[in-house]
Amino acid sequence: MKRKLHVYGNWKLHNKIRESEELAKAVKEGSVKYKNKVNIGVAPVYTSLINVRNILGDNSTVKLLAQNGYPKPKGAFTGEVSFPLLKDAGCRGVIIGHSERRHLFNESNELISEKVESALQTGLDVTLCLGETLEQRENGETWQVIEKQLTSSMFHVPPTYREKLVIAYEPVWAIGTGKTATPEQAQEVHAQIRNKLEKSWLKDTSEKIAILYGGSVKPKNAKSLFEQPDIDGALVGGASLDPESFLKIIDIASHL
Ligand code: PEP
């Protein structure tokens, strides 16, 4: 029996408020039948968060997530949004360390670690993204990179917060490129992550932490990925902008 799968949608820098509301309505309506079967979440752009929250309502089956956040609670940090403010806007979780943050905005493992700590202390669930570039994979450095990202960003997390973590393994070369890791390639890394969690923490804790795959997940490849023993769902970018595709992926997750 598999863990209850997660399907999270990352809307990235897309959608005006009205478009986000429409997408949220469609996802909310289509998700009703998956209540208690799949953990569902959506991460709209900041300007749509409150509107999407109002569409989803309190304790909705669809969890509101932010795409990023800043580790200091308040102060002279022009242009940033802190985790307490995201919570105040209705977010229940946040994505941290997405590869676009790491590579386009030069976020370091140290900054990501601070963000993880601050978000968890605020009471938000954290989806921590990890992944290697194509060059690192071709150089045989995949596990080295992932292990470094893992150890520097999350192993300081105290036991009470550990189960509020979700990990998303997202090979950089598979994000938004239409190239997906094969189920075997993804499973290999997921198993290594699970093993590391088990060694560093406890088997019991490692079993409870969901490890999602991200990188061009679509309705056509979701099943073969979700069938892998250590793949606990998906972080979906492009396909989450189309409610039909996103709901199809959720439906596939509900049957495993
Ligand atoms: C993502 O944004 O995390 C992602 C995996 O994007 P895509 O599904 O478009 O590759």
Per-residue pLDDT band for 75 (boundaries 50, 70, 90) equals: very high
Verify whether residue 103 is a known catalytic residue: no
Per-residue pLDDT band for 92 (boundaries 50, 70, 90) equals: very high
CB of residue 245 inside a 6 A radius of ligand 1? no
Per-residue pLDDT band for 13 (boundaries 50, 70, 90) equals: very high
pLDDT value of residue 141? 96
CB 92 within 8 Å of CB 69: no
Per-residue pLDDT band for 207 (boundaries 50, 70, 90) equals: confident
Give distance in angstroms: CA of 50 to centre of ligand 1.
Answer: 23
pLDDT digits (tens, 9 = 90+) for 161-199: 888 999 999 999 988 887 888 999 999 999 999 999 988
Q: Is the dihedral of CA 150, 168, 1, 33 positive or negative?
A: positive
Q: Where are the alpha helices (DSSP H) in 32-122?
A: 49-56, 83-88, 99-104, 109-122
Which domain CATH number covers 144? 3.20.20.70
- Please determine, for residue 3, whether its predicted confidence score (pLDDT) is greater than 90: no
Q: 27: domain range? A: 5-254
Q: Which residue, judged by its Cα, is nearest atom 1 of ligand 1?
A: 237
pLDDT digits (tens, 9 = 90+) for 125-137: 999 999 999 999 9
Question: How many domains does the chain fold into?
Answer: 1
Q: Model-level pTM?
A: 0.95
CB 127 within 8 Å of CB 96: yes
Number of other residues whose CB lies within 10 A of the CB of residue 208: 14
- How far apart are the C-alpha atoms of 132 and 146, rounded to whole Å? 7
pLDDT mean across residues, the chain: 94
- Please determine, for residue 115, whether its predicted confidence score (pLDDT) is greater than 70: yes
- Please determine, for residue 208, whether its predicted confidence score (pLDDT) is greater than 90: no
CB of residue 9 inside a 6 A radius of ligand 1? no
pLDDT value of residue 171? 95
- Please determine, for residue 2, whether its predicted confidence score (pLDDT) is greater than 80: no
Give distance in angstroms: CA of 202 to centre of ligand 1.
Answer: 30
Question: What phi and psi values does residue 182 have, to the nearest 5 degrees?
Answer: -70, 155
- The one catalytic residue in 107, 132, 170, 190 is 170
Mean pLDDT of 9-16: 98
- Please determine, for residue 86, whether its predicted confidence score (pLDDT) is greater than 90: yes
Give distance in angstroms: CA of 157 to centre of ligand 1.
Answer: 26
Give distance in angstroms: CA of 65 to centre of ligand 1.
Answer: 15
- Please determine, for residue 1, whether its predicted confidence score (pLDDT) is greater than 70: no
CB 36 within 8 Å of CB 59: no
Mean pLDDT of 46-65: 96
- How far apart are the C-alpha atoms of 202 and 159, rounded to whole Å? 10
Verify whether residue 198 is a known catalytic residue: no
Helix (H, G, I), strand (E, B) or coil at 207: helix
